[in-house]
Amino acid sequence: MTATPFSSTCRKQGLWLTALLAVLLGGFFGWQHFAPVTVADGWSYRVYLDGIPHVSALAKDREGALYISKELGNGRGILFSRAADASLTQIVVGLSKPDGLVAFREGIVISQEEGDLPVLWLHGGQMDTLFQGRSVEGLATDGQSLYAVEDRKGDGRLLRFDPLTRVLTVLRSGLSEAEGVAICPDGQLFYTEKGKRWVKRWQADGADVLVLEQLNAPGFLMCNDEGLWITEDATHRARLLLLDRTGSLQTILSGLHSGQTVLSLAPGHLLLAEQGRGRVLEVERLPIPSR
Is residue 69 domain-resident?
yes
Q: What is the bridge-based pairing of β-strands 107-111 and 269-274?
A: unpaired
Is residue 17 domain-resident?
yes
Is residue 256 domain-resident?
yes
Question: What are the C-alpha distances in Å from 231 to residues 103, 150, 165, 263, 290?
Answer: 19, 17, 33, 11, 32
Is residue 1 domain-resident?
no
pLDDT tens figures, 139-184: 999 999 999 999 999 999 999 999 999 999 999 999 999 999 999 9
Rg (CA), the chain: 22
Is residue 3 domain-resident?
no
Question: The CATH number of the domain where 20 resides is what?
Answer: 2.120.10.30
Provide the whole-model pTM.
0.87
Q: What is the bridge-based pairing of β-strands 88-95 and 259-266?
A: unpaired
Is residue 2 domain-resident?
no
Is residue 291 domain-resident?
no
Q: Are 160 and 169 within 8 A, CB to CB?
A: yes
Report residue 163: phi and psi, to 5°.
Answer: -70, -20
Residue 144 is part of which domain span?
Answer: 8-285
Q: What is the bridge-based pairing of β-strands 107-111 and 116-123?
A: antiparallel
Is residue 119 domain-resident?
yes
**Confidence band (pLDDT; 50, 70, 90) for 30?**
very low
Domain count, the chain: 1
Average pLDDT of span 69-92: 93
Going by C-beta distance under 8 Å and a sequence separation of 6 or more, which residues neighbour residue 220?
Answer: 138, 179, 180, 192, 229, 230, 231, 233, 259, 260, 261, 262
